[in-house]
Amino acid sequence: MATILIHADAKAAENATAKRLLDKIATKPDATLGLATGGTMEQVYAILIEKARELNLSFAGLKSFNLDEYIGLSADHPQSYRTYMNKLLFDHVDIKPENTHLPRGDAADPAEEARRYEAMITEQGGIDLQLLGIGINGHIGFNEPSSSLGSRTRIKKLAISTMEANRRFFKPDEAVPTHALTMGIATIMQARKVILLATGAAKADAIAAALEGPVSTACPASVLQFHPDVTVIIDEDAASKLKLRDFYESIHPGGEEVYFVK
Ligand code: GLP
């Protein structure tokens, strides 16, 4: 079973997530991190920057690979995930820019770019710790329902609900991209450790389906039930539809976990 940690509120869940990233950086300064975007991660990165400063923790030896990028947006587009990562994390820490990787949304040949990205992850030794959010339809990265559980980095069409959810990041008259390059589900499953963070009532159905539903492409995050080392960090709102919530809370009261850094 996954380690399921239910925290009182979003702030506590974000702190718990940032703490695990800090622990990984402290114990493995040359780790490869798999990073995620989305509203959920904004505070995680803010906490990470603040605490890393307090702890005098260097990111100089780290490598990072982000999950995904919109097709058609150049790196310097205000809504690209590259811009998000630069603004919210990379510009504030001493990670070497050349060690930070996202798929190139404006690549002339997106299918080739997907193959290049997948190969680069493998060549660089794989991902030590993959951070994940979850879509309201259970997507991870941009692996929408019906994604092959054996998929690798590739082009994906975005679900209408995903485009609607992400519209808030774009100007009212701006078109939301319809396609993305995303790590595949098998790519994500190869990460040595996975941390999934979800907060808020809008994620409650997706979390219940992912943790307690059948493993199915209908809810791509459900495949994590097969991952040998996954920690799910949620707040009470995101946990509200879990049938076995009392059981999870009895194992880790208040979301606390006695754990040993690997
Ligand atoms: C986005 C991203 C995902 C993210 C998810 C949830 O579209 N591709 O990586 O986890 O949807 O986003 P949010 O945190 O804004 O709810």
Q: Is residue 56 part of a domain?
A: yes
Q: Is residue 205 part of a domain?
A: yes
Q: What is the mean pLDDT of residues 179-207?
A: 98
Q: Is residue 260 part of a domain?
A: no
Q: Is residue 262 part of a domain?
A: no
The domain in which residue 68 lies consists of 3-255
Q: Is residue 261 part of a domain?
A: no
CATH number of domain containing 37 = 3.40.50.1360
Q: Is residue 180 part of a domain?
A: yes
Per mean pLDDT, which range of 34-48, 138-152, 158-172 is the poorest? Answer: 158-172
What are the CA-CA distances from residue 91 to residues 48, 86, 155, 168 (Å)? 13, 5, 28, 23
Kindly give the distance from the C-alpha atom of residue 156 to the centroid of ligand 1, in angstroms, as a whole number.
Answer: 14
Q: What is the mean pLDDT of residues 205-217?
A: 98
First to last CA, the chain: 18
Q: Is residue 34 part of a domain?
A: yes
139 classed as catalytic:
yes
Instruction: Indicate whether 262 pLDDT > 70.
Output: no
Task: For residues 168 and 170, give the distance between their C-alpha atoms in angstroms, rounded to a whole number.
Answer: 6
Determine the residue type at 106: D
39 lines ligand 1 (CB under 6 A): yes
Choose among 198, 258, 33: nearest CA to 128: 33
Q: pLDDT band for 257, please (50, 70, 90 cuts).
A: confident
Looking from the CA of residue 41, the nearest atom of ligand 1 is 14
179 classed as catalytic:
no
69 classed as catalytic:
no
133 lines ligand 1 (CB under 6 A): yes
Q: Is residue 241 part of a domain?
A: yes
Largest CA distance in the chain: 52
Beta carbons within 8 Å of 221's beta carbon, 6+ residues apart: 132, 134, 138, 139, 140, 196, 206, 209, 210
| pTM (two decimals) | 0.96
Domain count, the chain: 1
Q: Output the pLDDT for position 62.
A: 98
Looking from the CA of residue 40, the nearest atom of ligand 1 is 14
Q: Output the pLDDT for position 259.
A: 57
Average confidence score pLDDT of the chain: 96
